[in-house]
Amino acid sequence: MAVVTTSKKACSVNPLKMSQPIGGSFAFLGLRGAMPLLHGPQGCTSFGLTLFVRHFNEAVPMQTTAMSEVATVLGGHENLEQAILNIYNRLEPEIIGINSTGVTETNGDDVEAFIRLIRQKHPKLEKLPLVYVSTPDFKDAFQDGWGKTVARMIEMLVAPVDTARPRDISRVNVLPGCHLTPGDLDELRTIFEDFGLKPSFLPDVAGSLDGHIPDEFTPTTIGGIGVDEIATMGQVAWTIAIGAQMRRAAEAMQVRTGAPFRLFERLCGLIPNDEFIAFLSQISGRSVPWKYRRQRGQLADAMLDAHFHIGGRKLAIGAEPDLLFDLSSLLHEIGAQVSAAVTTTNSPVLQRVRTEDVLIGDLEDLEELARSRDCDLLMSHSHGRQAASRLNVPFFRVGFPMFDRLGAAHLTMVGYRGTRDLIFDIANLIITDREANHGPTPDTWRSSCGGPQLHPPQLH
């Protein structure tokens, strides 16, 4: 059982964490015709927007209430009203998703009350869903913002159901955590459909951020789950939540609609997928298609082939809790040692990470731990690149943001097939590193050489 500690530093160096409001906006980006709106100064939106654009290489709709210093003193009601009206009049969105920021939370803006007043004053907004979620910057992290926002969407948008009516057993709700990529969601969609199940993904970033080219230019999201479909999510037989961060949302769904849920904390690895596929077979009443029996064999073979390279590696990983838990467990299961684990926020899964200690900290912590514990594989989002080059160890990019490589949206790690490909990618990275940096020389094993070469830490 891992001990979870929090960094005591006053100064966070090379942050791993991103803020909770943009996690919320990210969730809204998985809705069709949506406009995420951050209630705060324009910079809050601009930074988040840039980050999404660099990660996905896509146009990303996101707006701001543009709180100025004066507006902050006076309170944000007027700015929120203007922002909603401007977006409504110019862009005709199907939904506006509002998250608060540090400024408006410090100010104590009562946004729910503002929205009520705005609706009273502008009856034309009657049909426009406005979902508001409180997400101060100075608390929690990206995945918390996502989880809270999805839970709130369910409370606001899913229509109450008549419990006497029979449920549609062919339908399932899927509540994916923010660590799943559009590629992951598409893989899952295929799996569900192969079992004859019709999944509703909430949110569905695969519909909006997979890179497809829309026929028409649209200033809001170009796809994702529609508000109309969300409303009917209560009629399903099962809700499947992926990642512990989605527990809150799954519980909200159960409370609202009575639909039972099953939470899969992991979908990467052999055993987790066995459980998943077995569950789908049960709820669909269908036997497991041959395709998945074969894929299971392929994954087993990938583990056989890769364990030579991954086994014994000392992994340093920095990621948000659910991603950290899933990936580090996978590598542990192929024989790697999880030597350094740093994360952004608290979560019940952290204690179960297969390592001694998990630190809620930053990438400087990860770099130091990786150096002192002699790690030889580093995993984090793209911001780990500087640490990786100083440590001179193979670096595998995972999670958000990934701004210095292409195809972040399609990195797939769920299912047998996703796990198989991920294992190959990691093993190949290790092989490349060995060939490039660790070829034997006549002096490699000469004792006067002083053992393995240590790269001196570079300060600047």
Binding site for another protein (CB under 8 A): 9-15, 17-19, 21-22, 37, 40-51, 53-54, 57-59, 63-69, 71-72, 79-80, 82-87, 90, 101-103, 106-107, 136-139, 141, 193, 213-214, 217, 219, 364, 383, 386, 403, 458-460
Instruction: Starting at the earlier edge strand, list the strands of the sheet with 357-360.
Output: 3-6, 357-360, 337-343, 314-318, 377-380, 395-397
**Which residue number, 38 or 422, has a Cβ lying nearer to another protein?**
38
CB of 288 to another protein, least distance (A): 20
In the complex with another protein, which residue's Cβ is closer, 447 or 458?
458
Q: How far, in Å, CA of 455 to CA of 371, rounded? A: 10
Which residues, 6 or more positions from 424, have their beta carbon under 8 angstroms from its beta carbon?
A: 302, 305, 306
The radius of gyration computed from the CA coordinates of the chain, to the nearest angstrom, equals: 23
Minimum Å gap between C-beta 135 and another protein is 10
| Residue whose CB is less far from another protein, 88 or 279 | 88
Two structure tokens written together for 340: 């350094």
394/317 Cα distance (integer angstroms): 12
Q: CB neighbours of 259 closer than 8 A, spacing ≥ 6?
A: 167, 173, 233, 234, 236, 237, 238, 239, 253
Q: How far is the CB of 76 from another protein (least distance, A)?
A: 9
Phi and psi angles of residue 395, each rounded to the nearest 5 degrees, phi first: -125, 120
Closest CB to another protein among residues 42, 254: 42
Give dist(CA 268, CA 136) in Å, integer: 31
Q: How far is the CB of 25 from another protein (least distance, A)?
A: 11
Q: Which is nearer to another protein, 13 or 113 (CB)?
A: 13
- Report in angstroms how near the CB of residue 77 gets to another protein at its nearest: 11
Q: Which is nearer to another protein, 320 or 421 (CB)?
A: 320
Cβ nearer to another protein, comparing 19 with 257: 19
- The least CB distance from residue 82 to another protein, in Å, is 4
| Minimum CB–partner distance for residue 45 and another protein (Å) | 8
